[in-house]
Structure 1
Amino acid sequence: MSTDRLAHVRDLLAAHPLIDGHNDLPWAARDLARYDWDQVDIATDLTGRTHTDLARLRSGGVGAQFWSVFVPSNLPGSAAVTATLEQIDAVHHLIGRYAGDLGLARTADEVEQVFRSGRIASLLGAEGGQSIDCSLGTLRLLYVLGVRYMTLTHNDNNPWADSATDEPAHGGLTDFGREVVREMNRIGMMVDLSHVSADTMRDALAVTEVPVIFSHSSARAVCDSPRNAPDDVLESLRDNNGVIMVTFVPAFVSQAVADWRAEAWAAAPAAGVDPKDHVAFSAFAAERMAKVPVPTATLADVVKHFEHIREVAGIDHIGVGGDYDGVDVLPEGLEDVSGYPRLFAALADLGWSDEDLVKVAGGNLLRVMREVEAGARQAQQTRGPSLVTFTP
Structure 2
Amino acid sequence: MRLSWTDLGKARAGKADGRRVEITGFVLAASALGGDERFLLMAEPGCCPGCVPDNPEAVVEVLARQPMKRADGAVTLDGIWRVSADDQGWRYQLHDAVPVKRLSRRTLMAASSLFCLPVPAMAQATDGMAVDLHSHAGNLLPLSFGRGSSAAVAEPMRQGGVAAISLAVVSDSPIIKLTDGRLRPSRDPRPGELYAFSQRSFPALHALAREQGMPIIRTAAELRAARAGQPSLIVASEGADFLEGRIERLDEAYQRWALRHLQLTHYRPNELGDIQTEPSVHDGLTPFGAEVIRRCNAMGIVVDVAHGPFELVKKAAAVTTKPLVLSHTSLTTRPAAWTRRILPDHARAIAATGGVIGIWPVTAYFPNVVAYATEGFARMVDIAGIDHVGLGTDQLGLVGGSAMPSYADLPQLAAALRTRFNAEETAKLLGGNFRRVFEASVR
1:64 aligns with 2:164: yes
| Equivalent residues of 1:57, 1:337 under 8 A apart | yes
Paired with 1:22 and 1:5, the residues of 2 have a C-alpha distance of: 26
Give the counterpart letter for 2:284 in structure 1. Answer: G
Residues 98 and 205 (structure 1 numbering): CA distance in 2 closer, same or farther, change over 3 Å? same
Structure number with higher relative contact order (C-alpha < 8 Å, ≥ 6 residues apart): 1
1:327 to 390, 398, 406: 398
Amino acid at match of 2:172: P
125, 129, 150: which one aligns with 2:236:
125
Q: Pick one of 102, 106, 112 that aligns with 2:218.
A: 106
1:204 and 2:330 correspond:
no
C-alpha distance in structure 2 between counterparts of 1:136 and 1:238, whole Å: 27
Structural RMSD (CA): 2.3
Aligned with 2:279: secondary structure? coil
How far residue 231 of structure 1 moved from its aligned partner, in angstroms, is 1.1
Which residue identity lines up with residue 134 of structure 2 in the other structure? Answer: H
Q: Distance in 2 between matches of 1:111 and 1:222?
A: 37
CA deviation map 1:16-72 (0-9, x unaligned): x1000111136x3452695578x4352xxxxxxxxxx43322222211111111133
AA partner of residue 239 (structure 1): A
User: Which residue of 2 is the match for residue 79 of structure 1?
Assistant: 193
> How many residue pairs align between the two structures?
310
Asked if the contact 1:77/1:130 (under 8 Å) is kept, the reply is: no
The 1:182–1:32 alpha-carbon spacing in structure 2 relative to 1, beyond 3 Å, is closer
1:302 aligns with 2:413: no
Structure 1 residue runs of 4+, over 6 Å off?
Answer: none
Residue 238 of structure 1: CA displacement? 2.0
Corresponding residue SS for 2:440? helix
The Cα shift of 1:128 comes to 0.6
Distance 2:144 2:243 in 1: 25
User: Corresponding residue for 2:360?
Assistant: 247
Cα distance in 2, alignment partners of residues 314 and 239 from structure 1: 10
SS in structure 2 of the partner of residue 149 of structure 1: strand
The aligned runs of 1:240-279 (5 Å cut-off) are 240-251=353-364, 253=365
After TM superposition, list the pairs within 5 Å mapping 1:136-147 onto structure 2.
Answer: 136-144=247-255, 145-147=257-259
8 Å CA contact retained: 1:105, 1:123: yes
Structure 1 residue 371 corresponds to structure 2 residue 407: no
The equivalent of 2:127 in structure 1 is 13
Cα pair 1:329 1:335 within 8 Å, conserved: no
Shift of 1:77: 4.9
Q: How does 1:140-155 map to 2 (within 5 A)?
A: 140-144=251-255, 145-155=257-267
Taking structure 1 as reference, are residues 114 and 349 closer, same or farther at Cα in structure 2, changes over 3 Å only? closer
Is 1:238–2:368 an aligned residue pair? no
**How far does residue 7 in structure 1 lie from its aligned partner after superposition?**
2.8
The whole-number CA distance in structure 1 between the counterparts of 2:263 and 2:358 is: 13
2: CA distance, partners of 1:33 / 1:314: 37
In structure 2, the CA distance between the partners of 1:30 and 1:319, relative to structure 1 (3 Å rule), is: closer
Counterpart in the other structure of 1:194: 306
- In the alignment, residue 268 of structure 2 is paired with which amino acid? D
- Out of 231, 245, 248, the position equivalent to 1:134 is 245
Q: C-alpha offsets along residues 53-108 of structure 1, whole Å, 9 cap, x if unaligned?
A: 43322222211111111133534452211212211111111222222xx2111122
CA distance in 1, matches of 2:400, 2:407: 12
2:299 corresponds to 1:229:
no
User: Deviation of residue 152 (structure 1)?
Assistant: 0.9
Q: Assess, with a 3 A threshold, how the Cα gap between structure 1 residues 70 and 77 changes in structure 2: closer, same or farther.
A: farther
CA distance in 2, matches of 1:356, 1:231: 21
Tell me whether 1:54 sits opposite 2:170 in the alignment: no
SS in 1 for 2:245: coil
TM-score (norm 1): 0.73
Other-structure match for 2:150 = 40
Query: Who wins on radius of gyration, i.e. which is larger?
Result: 2
Do the aligned residues in 1 keep the contact of 2:356 with 2:434 (CA within 8 Å)?
Answer: yes
Tell me, yes or no, if the aligned pair for 1:126 and 1:147 is still in contact at 8 Å.
Answer: yes
TM-score (norm 2): 0.65
State which of 411, 417, 423 in structure 2 corresponds to 1:347: 417
Query: Residue deviations 1:99-129, cap 9 Å, x none?
Result: 2xx211112210233428x200211110012
Counterparts of 1:13 and 1:345 in 2: how far apart (Å)?
12
Q: Which has the higher helix share?
A: 1
1:163 aligns with 275
3-state DSSP of counterpart to 1:80: helix
Question: Structure 2: any 5+ residue segments left out of the alignment?
Answer: 1-116, 176-188
